[in-house]
Structure 1
């Protein structure tokens, strides 16, 4: 970049910290893409947690990433948390070395284990920090970090109960470019997955790690697909994926199944209806894709915020919901009832599209670059 007097200046350098799940990683990549589009000379570095999904997905998107030796609190075994203080200290040492080498002008936190040590270190050194909080209930780390952040980007109103009001900007949630700009036709999508153009199609996605309740329902009802003349695109997620994939492939004439769908734009194009968790990013993607969706909120989300995410759409006749506890008995019937009700499908599609925010990444990038001169 250059100043107005044409004297060259050094390119701006920004660290993006966080990850753990697709709900953190994909918005982070969307923000990075928008920053680079606005300023092609910008230097970008991701910082994540070693062994987590971001260490694979970020390089696939074309960005460099450094990993920290850090983990979250383990609620199932208190003994596994004994090493946490040591890992936190180690992570701060690693962050110090990363900052020494990269010399960032600003840091953006998107949630996940690495966000806290990276933003905390930046704030101690008076380096501008920004937070993207995708959920309607902020995490404790983000609440602490928000006190000293320059700007906090949120998806919805009412976040002043977590953050200083003057620092909040309602930006919406950034969605992947592959979704916000997809132009794939339904026929192209179905052809990609090797499925029949004359059958109704369900897309089941439980997130990058998987949703056990959704997967178990799909597994139970594989035998019902053929009699109903419907087909399934099934992203199982990582957890117990081999079991689901093995079973799904025995019905390969009307089931496509894998751990992760790389070409998610083609999956949305092919689908008549989607089954999904109700995390903030999942909801944002469904709105942008304009897909009738049956949400199955994760029941252990803090403050049950996934149920509230889903209810916001249901109140506007923009989707349906089945509680996780009722999924075994009600989910498949709910989905198929909607699937064969053309009026309901059309209403859901029209109403969910009205809630789409397609430029959240650009709003966030513009605000960051305003501050980082």
Structure 2
């Protein structure tokens, strides 16, 4: 039997990278001898995170279009042409059975070239509002795996498969890892733990909030795991205390989730999917600076199911302390939020996506 070969692209942020890795890990579980090649954007975080997960990656000279006139925008046509040519070369050399894209700029040239070369492609869209790259690729894709209903407003209805978002395998057993989390982060087992995650690159507004509230958290007798992001680490590293762990990035996210009693998070699709599986009380602070304000829509849909609390950035100064104190002091509310968010989890999403990869591979033989 010939060796399976898969090319995968997704990057720019963790919201694209980790679904791509999750799909690759499930494929590797089914086909231990399979070969994989990731394709990312040079200088983006996938060039580090994918090799850390044990996969090879090639970089393209590609970036997005800025909203204002910049040198980068003027260079975009040249970057796109360069990336298309390199993607074509990589596809012809690697000869994949299927090419998979999870969003991000690098997936555009790769999947477009794969389609031109008659290789089956699958795209996975994490959000309720489809990204530019995936909308561009949809016409030629063989299948489109989505996490939300109603995506036919962006994509051909006959290609849609409702699967949910891929989840990293290490998050499936979070509840058994609390002791490991205590040891890894050097935390006090007698204190409650607050976890703050502002997305893979960090959130300026959430970081400003946490910096302002350190005394408030100490008064609550809390210890804090604060992932501030690499862009902000130098600004906030000096605030680290024995009870306040300030981190650029959390590599052992499963252990952070395992140890957390309460979580403050952005409301990107990947975060929502992971936190539904983790089942801890969550306060979502959606970013208002995203397409169609989709994070607010994500968070509101969960709040409406009494499965999380949403606080808008504009309400933080007035409402954060009373809302947080109420949650800390109300054990029944914590239980209700935990139980309700668990009902929204789709732990089999990655398997369903890989089932679809196998289906289009068979059809296209």
Please give the TM-score of this superposition, normalised by the length of structure 2.
0.96
| Unaligned 5+ runs, structure 2 | none
**Does 2:296 align with 1:313?**
no
Give the structure 1 partner of residue 134 of structure 2.
Answer: 142
Whole-angstrom distance in 2 between the partners of 1:185 and 1:93: 46
1:326-360 alpha-carbon deviations (Å, 9 max, x no partner): 22443344223212211110100010011111111
**SS of the counterpart of 1:83?**
helix
Q: 2:88 aligns with which of 72, 96, 99?
A: 96
**Does 2:141 align with 1:152?**
no
Kindly state the Cα deviation for residue 253 of structure 1 after the two structures are TM-superposed. 2.2
Kindly state the Cα deviation for residue 12 of structure 1 after the two structures are TM-superposed. 2.1
Kindly state the Cα deviation for residue 186 of structure 1 after the two structures are TM-superposed. 3.0
Kindly state the Cα deviation for residue 182 of structure 1 after the two structures are TM-superposed. 2.8
**SS of the counterpart of 2:6?**
strand
| Unaligned 5+ runs, structure 1 | 3-9
**SS of the counterpart of 1:245?**
helix
**SS of the counterpart of 1:31?**
helix
Kindly state the Cα deviation for residue 87 of structure 1 after the two structures are TM-superposed. 0.6
1:217 touches 1:332 (CA, 8 Å); kept in 2? no
Whole-angstrom distance in 2 between the partners of 1:35 and 1:161: 30
Kindly state the Cα deviation for residue 77 of structure 1 after the two structures are TM-superposed. 4.3
2:105 touches 2:133 (CA, 8 Å); kept in 1? no
1:301-340 alpha-carbon deviations (Å, 9 max, x no partner): 1111111111111111000001122224433442232122
Give the structure 2 partner of residue 200 of structure 1.
Answer: 192
**Does 2:252 align with 1:260?**
no
Whole-angstrom distance in 2 between the partners of 1:46 and 1:351: 36
> For 1:115-264, what aligned pairs fall within 5 Å after superposition?
115-247=107-239, 249=240, 252-264=241-253
Which segment drifts farther, 28-37 or 220-229? 220-229
**Does 2:58 align with 1:69?**
no
- Give the number of aligned pairs: 362
RMSD: 1.4
Q: 1:300 aligns with which of 281, 289, 293?
A: 289
Please give the TM-score of this superposition, normalised by the length of structure 1.
0.94
Q: 1:42 aligns with which of 13, 31, 34?
A: 34
1:236 touches 1:245 (CA, 8 Å); kept in 2? no
Whole-angstrom distance in 2 between the partners of 1:327 and 1:55: 35
Give the structure 2 partner of residue 325 of structure 1.
Answer: 314
1:208 touches 1:260 (CA, 8 Å); kept in 2? yes
